[in-house]
Structure 1
């Protein structure tokens, strides 16, 4: 009797486990879906690289301009640069925070 109950319980357990496995079988993506995702990631990474390169060049240009202004002692130019920075830096920070909130960065690639 004990053996029969254990066998019955084991059979029900196996059937229940098979049902769970059938329900939660993962979907394997097709090759074209993987390639599409990879191409999207590469395109996002390329846009991010270009954006970072532009920011680097702008920063380098600002540093070079500041060095020239200090070297030739041109206070009016320095004041204009400071005024422009006072206006444009908050605008750039707000735009960057909005871009991050939208999730257009490479970090958010769906994986």
Structure 2
């Protein structure tokens, strides 16, 4: 029983620690699961254009460290806007920012994969 409780506490901690996991949980608790988690296409053309621009930046980047700093700065700004949206009970705004954060997280993962071979060779 104590092992089960410890596992649940660890899972809760991980959910609260990560901004995207926390946002997903809060949106789901409000009955608003994050679009895209169900496999359907996101219907926000502005957000899709942003994601395409970030993807192009990653594909064309020659200075990956600079791109990593840009992604980190944008992630911080998105997390701040996400907190403001939740604070104002603006679930539409929170959903948009959570989707942005989701795209940035995926972009960050791809950037780390691109950087990994360079680090291994050093």
- TM-score (normalizing by structure 2): 0.36
- TM-score (normalizing by structure 1): 0.39
Q: Relative contact order: is structure 1 or structure 2 higher (C-alpha 8 Å, sep ≥ 6)?
A: 1
Q: Which protein shows a greater Rg?
A: 1
